[in-house]
Structures are given as structure tokens and as C-alpha cells.
Chain A
Amino acid sequence: MELLNALILMANFVLVPALAYGSQLALGALGVTLIYGILRFSNFAHGDTMAFGTMAVILFTWWFQSMGINLGPLPTALLALPFGIAICAGFVLATDKLVYKFYRQQRAAPVIYVIASVGVMFVLNGIVRFIIGPDDQAFADGERFIVRARSFKEWTGLEEGLTIKVSQGITVITAVLVVAALFWFLNRTRTGKSMRAFSDNEDLALLSGINPDKVVMVTWIIAAALATIAGTLYGLDKSFKPFTYFQLLLPIFAAAIVGGLGNPLGAIAGGYVIAFSEIMVTYAYKKFIGYMAPGDWSPDSLLQLLGTNYKFSVSFVILLLVLLLRPTGLFKGKSV
């Protein structure tokens, strides 16, 4: 009984949140890694692209809600998602045309792209705050829980309850579907194959007649879609606040680098590595040890390795360790 309680406790506070958070990070890191693989730079605007896409989704959600359209138990945001993706993709393509295309033709150094992406980040930052404001926005509706703590306790008779939020369930399911679709696209379709060829060896790909403009365009559209989905899922699960999305940049980059920049499989693995470490390191193990230890003994301190204020330093430390020990990432990424 004690053991079961301890396991449920861990599932409730570590496993379920980390799975959801990891899926969100993985989707974000996939976008970063795709852009890195094809366009060959770290896109600092990715966090704010997520915020922009999510903002579009929120605006559509509010509009649908005002017209009385909803998805019953599911959040209306899912219905608004395709519209948000379309707007975000349009915006991202416009920035490519106005900003990045010039440097591509110049064959500029990667660091110039990075600076340009910082400029784009600023502009996005301003636009998002201008339109929707810097504050928290709630846009989740429908059912809130798949499993409630109280009914779980009544049902199992355990002391500890398990809560699974609808947003967490949706996050994991959506992430699986999106990743499956993405890999199908990359491995099975002509465009996807040409993208991979372009990422492996640009010159060879150009020689064999691949149209670089098309590859770049498709990459941006996919990245925008991934960013919007990741951002919306994060917003449903926690809340939407523009500054939080800027801060997500660090764990997302860490996830992409841990997995090996440019490697999509690595990005997914990296997302979960970061999410699990972040949550496990900032979780207070007091109650867990209390269940596991014999008798009624329970430790005095919280047994928390690190305060939640420092959760971002976890991804940073992992990032540094990977760069120190294995700079190409856990899965082999592109050249260092």
C-alpha cells in the first residue's frame, strides 16, 4: 500500500506533468532543429513565434466562443488551431521574404542570421504585446480533468490521488500524432525527402535539381505549425503569457542541442530529457521518502534539490554538460 501510494505520488507530480511538458518542449525543439538543419542557424525568434501563433489561436478561440461554437468537452482552441497555424505561417513566410532571404542570397555567416533572428524576435515581442498585452490570458474551456484526484482516491482507496488534466492528455496525444505525421512526411513524401537531402548536403541536393526555395518555404511552414501547436498546448496546460514564451527558448534550445541539433529524433528525446530532469530536480521528495521509509519516519526537510525558481538552470546545466562531454548531442547531430 505504501509503495503504491509512493508510486501514485510520483506519477501525479512527476510523470504526468513531465510527459506533458516534455511533449511541448519536443514540439518546440523540433521546430528549432528543422530550421537549424535546413536554414543552418539557431532561430532565437522561435519562442516568440510560439507566442505569436498562440496569440492568433487565442483570438480565434475568443471569436468562436463569442459565436457559441465549441467542441463540447474539448477546448475550443483545438478548433482554432488550424487558423492560428495559417496566420503564423503567413507571418513567418513574410519575415523570411523580408529578412532572411537577403542573407541567404549573400551567403552570410551563421551569426548574422542569429542577429537577424534576434531582431525578428523583438518585432514579434512588440507585436504580441501590442495586440494582446503582456498579461496572462485564459483561453482554456471544456472539461478540465480526465481523472480527478478525489474520484481516483474513492475508486482505488489509496491515500494519494492522481490528477490528469484534459490539457495534459491532449498534449501527449497531439504530440504523438504530429510527430508521426512529421516523420511520415520527412521519410515518405517527395518534398520531405528533398528536405532531408538538402539538410544532409546542400550542394549535392542543388545539383540533383531540388528547388531550394520550395524546401525553405516548406520548412518555415512546418516550423510555424510546430511552434503554434507547441505554444497552444503549453498555453492550455499552464497559461499564456508572452514573457514565459521568451523564457521557454532556453529549455527548447537545450532540448535541441542535447538531442543533437538538426536531428529530429534527437529533438524529441531531448525534450523529454530536459522536462524530466527539470521536474525531478525541483520536486520535493519529502512525502515520497515518507512512504518509502519503514514505519512512520519522515524526513524533516523538503528534500528538494533545487527551488522551482531555478528550474531554468537545470536545462542550462544539462546544456553545458552536453557541450563539454559530447558536443554533437546524444544522437548524432550536424557538425559542431
Chain B
Amino acid sequence: MQQSGGNKVLGTLKRQGIVMALVVIYILFAIASPQFRSLRNVILILRQVATIGVMAAGMTFVIIGGNFDLSVGSLLSLCSVLCIGLHDRIGPVPAMLVAIIAGLASGAVSGFLVGYLKLNSMIVTLGMMNVIQALALMVTNGRSVYLEDTDVWFCQIGKGNIAGFPISAVIMILYIILMAVILMKRKYGHQILSTGGNAEACRYSGIDDRRVLLKSFVLSGLSAAVGAILLSSRGGSAQPTVGQSYEFDVITAVILGGASLAGGSGNIYKTFVGVLILGILKNGFVMMGFPYYVQWIAQCLIMLVAVYLDMMSKKKKGAA
């Protein structure tokens, strides 16, 4: 009995390992840097991770489906320049709508190529990454875009606070809850988990696996567009290459959150924990005065550890 009790604790630790890692990393930085542990800094971290947090929630669906979406970084760029570039001409709401439509459309194209034509998602989205980057450069002629006046309500999305809490962080949290509900409670969530586990078995059970996979990319595209709104509204400006290397952060966060690279499992809340770990690393290294690129090395190491753990847990399953 005692042994099984011990196993239970161990099992919980393993399942919640990522949460433990978050706590440990937070404590380490808090000890090392007094500025880091201030409440103001915690709020800053939340504001900083808002974009990645939203995008990682969408990416979780793609990875559960057994795929990758490398195009989200350049999609973030395109949607950002659309938001800012169109804001003064057609108004904030239409500009945001255009950005969202661009995100949905881009996801639909990738999703069609991967889901219906069965093309490798790495290759498809690598190509899409370049195409979308090219579009972002085309619509801006390669120049940054600015708002005439940053004192508009649009900028409050990124800069403003509600009772001392950043609006962008609130939006991120609501968005993550929405995505978590889709994954855990809605029919689509059940379908993408099963399709990622075994697409053929789903096809033979009346589930249209192609459509399910397409939708996962549409969700990822939508998330990039929402992320772009949060990002561009913060400064009231956008560079056509602002989203470069975001795909790496986003995918790292999802993998840290324990989504299986082979597909079939993943959890939005744990993805968010992964996002927080990345956010703390970025913020913490800067607070401690390291150059910003040191965090890339740390990030890579953490990613490798996460992938290794994923592999080991699968091996154990195979042996059982």
C-alpha cells in the first residue's frame, strides 16, 4: 500500500513536472535578482508573454494533430503590418478583421495542403513562412508602419490596464481558456486528439481526418492574428519582420507543455506553463544583465530536455 502511495506521488510529480520546473526556475531567478521578484515585474512578464501565449494555444492543436506550423512567425509579421497599416485608413475594427481574415486564410491554405493533399507539414509551412514574409514586405514596401497618433483606444489593448492588470494579459487568459474549452469539452477537441493518435482509425470511424487537420491550422492562423493585434497595439507600430523567430518560441512552449511530437496528446494549460517558463527566462536573463542572446542557449537546452523526456516516456510505454 505504501509503495502504491509513493508511486502515486511520483506519478503526480511526473505529470506536473513542468509546473515544478516553472516554480524552480522562478525561485532561482527570484533569489538571484531582487528586481525580478517585484510584483511590477510579474505583471511585465505577463504582458511580455501575451502574444506567445495566444499563439502557443493555437499551435497546440497543430502539434496534437502530429504536425508543425512554422509559418506563424511571418504570419505574425503580416497581421501586425495589416493592423497598423490599415488602422488609420479604414478604422481599428475593420483593420483587426482584415488581420484575422488573413490569419484564417493562411491557416486554411496550409491546412488544405497538409490535411487534404497529405504534404509534409514542415515543408508546407516552411514554404508558407517565406511566402507570407514576402507578402508582408510587399504590402509595406519593406518599411515599418506607424500609427499617426498612438493615443487611440486600439493602443489601449496592448498598453492599457484594468485595475492594474494588463488588458493584453486578460485577453490572453480568456483566449487560452477558450482554446482549452475547445480542446477538452468540444467535439472538435476530441476529434483532433483522436486524429493525432491515429488518423486512419478516425477515417474508418466516420471522422473526416482531413478536415480535422485543416481546422487545426486555421486555429493556429487565427491565434497568430490575435497575437498580432496584442503585439502591434502595444507600440502602435509594426516592422514587416517583427515576427521573425517567434515560431521557435511558440513551438518550444508547446513541447515544454508536454504535447507529444508524434501527435495525439497535449494540454493547453500546460502549454501556457511552457510559455511562462520561456517568459521568465527572457525576462530573468535581461534583469540579471546578461545579453539577450544567452536566453537562446538556455531555451535550446530546455527544449532538448523536453524532447528527451517525451521520448523516454514513450519508450517506457512501448516496453510496458
Are A and B physically bound partners? no
